[in-house]
Amino acid sequence: MPSLKELSKKKELLSGGQRLCAGCGASIIVRQILMAAEDPLVISCATGCLEVATTIYPFSAWRIPFIHCAFENSASTLSGAEAAYRSLKRQGKIDRTIKFIAFGGDGGTYDIGLQALSGVLERGHNLLYVCYDNGAYMNTGIQRSSATPQGAATTTSPVGKAIPEGKQRPRKDLTQIVVAHDSPYVAQANPAYYNDLIKKVQKALNTEGPTFINILSPCPRGWRYESSQSIQIAKLATLTGFWPLYEVENGKYRITYRPKKRRPFREWLESQGRFKHLLSEKNKGIVERLEREVEEKENKLLALAGETPSSA
Amino acid sequence: MGKIVGLTGDETAAEAMRQINPDVLAAYPITPQTEIVQNFSQFVANGVVSTEMIRVESEHSAMSACIGAAASGARAMTATSANGLALMWEICYIAASYRLPIVMPLVNRALSGPINIHCDHSDSMGARDSGWIQLYSENCQEIYDNLIQAIRIAEDKEVLLPVMVTLDGFIISHAMERVEILEDEKVTEFIGEYKNPYSLLDVDNPVTWGPLDLYDYYFEHKRQQIEAIEKAGEVIQRVGKEFKEISGRSYELMENYRLEGADLVIVAAGSTAGTVKAVVNQLREEGVKAGLLKIRAFRPFPVREVSQALKNAKAVAILDRSVSFGAEGGPIFLEIRSALFEEAKRVPVVNYIYGLGGRDIGIDEIKAVYKNLERIAQTKKIEKLVGYLGLRE
């Protein structure tokens, strides 16, 4: 694999001047992915921040073929393009090698687009689906999704006298749902660990069949932190065990980065305004429960990967 | 030479689709469309088409996949009915606004609820403002002919719009009729090749499909879409003439059936037009000046042609197989009454809602309509503007 220094010399395929917020994880993720790809790409994108901020007519930040259709169908729209490619190739009407990547946020993937994603995985289309997971409907103004972590305050899971903890339900584990589809390559990545992310993208694109990468996407507006801190906070997500980095290749689990010693989960909560209310004395019990859950999840994952449990 | 075969409506649609041989077909089964998908799956299994068939998990994904495929330069088709069309509703609008020439047989079925699998036009009539061209078919032959012409209409450079070809659920979809099938090569030659100049797969000339289009451009884009569907009227007629050259069967925007000197005219779409023709023939023999105006293109609606055809009638009844709840009359009635507004002489028009949820309509009901038209023509009085046929009251 070429070094990041070499890769950074490649022409940027997502131009500057697009209108995502400063510190937005989505554009950092997309640029890392486009850097990683070796073949020409066709992109689809669900309605959401990434789409609206990069394609305001008559402008487009995409220097590669791009289609946006609607919110819940990034996967199915791209499955049509990929089927067209296979059909035209078989008929000898096209000879290039093209790879396909669908993007969707967590709202467009965990929630409204889950069925379309499941269909694509089951049908075995040769494409990579990337979920940039910022843990809420950020484009419409920070509403809770099924990816919102338990305890986070959003505009539809606000903190109040009757509900002091914000979101009451734990998040859905989408990565595991995709693993259950027996996809040949499934991974979780984090833009703070760019080498790891790039490697995973290259692996996915070189795997035949439907592949999936769930990527944590820090959001200064929704998570309530200084926009200069995005990468630090993303890093903390992995260091505290909230966002473990792993891959599942043909059913085989591998932890791709394991911190020597996991940092206290509390640091993750303290880093963002959306969890501020959890730090009060009355929510102590909730924090303890969340800490326990992170540890349990981590140990479960370690066991799946055949590694020794955490002693933290 | 082509061949003459006995086929059901669904089989006919599948046979036309075999000859069209789309690059991609994305479909989901729903009664009464199911046989189309089943038959086509068999063609794929037998290797007689080069189609990449996507057995999607919903109609929403079917239309989404068609959009992805058509934007990639592939000829893309699907087929559906009622609730399936409703589920793809959102994406139907997008297909039209992206100017993608997707062709779809729609087997008309009542749109729930309560659930009902039989024919009415509530599904296609509900989608009349989605930007799709709509061609209604009277019988199996017309399904075949309309589908083949639809490819040319949809892909015409001045049109570039999706087309739905409707056929009445069960009444036509599951009834066997005599159908003339053209030679495969003739169809291949007639439809030509689909080329999308802005293909997603043209990686050297990247394009962005479906950007965010706000108040500064959206309205102009809608205007272009309006012009395209207006233009489609001429193209439908031109393609109809060219189709006659290979088939001997000619097609217009609508069919004037014994309208010369007709005083009493019924307007209908779909299989009922065939029943009306039988009644017209009987009445003509009895000396009654009865005629039929059959709607083929409902979108674009042939306003001038319709008013030209009806302006000399003494009384007109419009049969609607769907309801526009809260409006005074069904969708076809509203269009025609509006079209006749510009005529100097006022033509009395009445509306009948009929056949909802597959309720049968027969010769007797249609005769009763002509009887009422006779009364209106004599008395110049309309007693009831909107009535019902075959309804227990």
Instruction: Name the residue among B133, B141, B143, B71 with its Cα closest to residue B105.
Output: B143
Question: Is residue A8 very low, low, confident or very high in pLDDT (cuts 50, 70, 90)?
Answer: confident
ipTM over 0.85: yes
Q: Does A139 touch chain B (CB under 8 A)?
A: no
Stretch A185-200: mean pLDDT, rounded?
A: 98
pLDDT tens-digit series, residues B166-199: 999 999 999 999 999 999 999 999 999 999 999 9
Place of tokens 């917020």: A21
Q: For residues B106 and B173, give the distance between their C-alpha atoms in angstroms, rounded to a whole number.
A: 10
B224 interfaces chain A, CB cutoff of 8 Å: no
Asked whether the beta carbons of residue A80 and residue B208 sit closer than 8 angstroms, the reply is no
- C-alpha dihedral sign at B117, B122, B125, B129: negative
Q: How far apart are the first and last CA of chain A?
A: 34
DSSP annotation of A133 reads: E
A309 touches chain B (CB under 8 A): no
Cβ neighbour number for residue A241 with a 10 Å cutoff: 23
pLDDT digits (tens, 9 = 90+) for B336-356: 999 999 999 999 999 999 999
> Considering only CB atoms, which chain B residues are within 8 Å of A58?
211, 217
Q: What confidence tier does A121 reach under pLDDT thresholds 50, 70, 90?
A: very high
Confidence at residue A2, expressed as pLDDT on a 0 to 100 scale:
77
Rounded average pLDDT over A205-228:
98
Q: Is B327 on the interface with A (CB under 8 A)?
A: no
* Shortest Cα–Cα distance, A104 to chain B (Å): 15
Residue A5 pLDDT exceeds 90: no
Instruction: Decide: residue A180, CB within 10 A, 0-12 exposed, 13-18 middle, 19+ buried.
Output: exposed
Model confidence at A183, pLDDT cuts 50, 70, 90, reads very high
A247-255 average pLDDT score:
98
CB-based contacts of A261, cutoff 8 Å, min separation 6: A312
Query: Which SS3 state, helix, strand or coil, does residue A63 take?
Result: coil
* Residue A69 pLDDT: 98
SS3 A152: coil
B44: distance to nearest CA of chain A, Å?
12
Residue B73, pLDDT above cutoff 70: yes
Stated pTM of the model: 0.97
* Tally of CB atoms within 10 A around B26: 29
Domain boundaries, chain B: 3-247, 254-389
Contact B64 A73 (CB under 8 A): yes
Position A311 confidence tier, pLDDT thresholds 50, 70, 90: low
Residue A221, judged by CB atoms within 10 A of its CB (0-12, 13-18, 19+), counts as middle
CATH number for the domain formed by residue range(s) B254-389:
3.40.50.920
**Interface contacts A/B by beta carbons within 8 Å:** 166
Mean pLDDT of chain B: 97
For A112, the closest chain B residue by CA position comes to B60
pLDDT in tens, B226-239: 999 999 999 999 99
pLDDT band at A77 (very low <50, low <70, confident <90, very high): very high
**Which of A 105-134 lie inside 8 A of B, CB atoms?**
115-116, 118-119, 122-123
Mean pLDDT of B136-146: 98
Residue A312 has pLDDT above 60, yes or no: no
Which among B64, B74, B201 has CB closest to A77? Answer: B64
A72 CB within 8 Å of a chain B CB: yes
User: Exposed (0-12), middle (13-18) or buried (19+): which is B112, by Cβ within 10 Å?
Assistant: middle
Dist. CA A297–CA B355, nearest whole Å: 59
Homologous superfamily assigned to B3-247: Thiamin diphosphate (ThDP)-binding fold, Pyr/PP domains (3.40.50.970)
Domains B3-247 and B254-389 share a fold: yes
Is the pLDDT at A251 greater than 80? The verdict is yes
B377 contact A CB<8A: no
Chain B residues whose CB is inside 8 A of the A69 CB are 64, 67-68, 91, 94, 209-210
Q: If 0-12 CB within 10 Å is exposed, 13-18 middle and 19+ buried, where does residue B174 land?
A: middle
Mean pLDDT of B284-301: 98
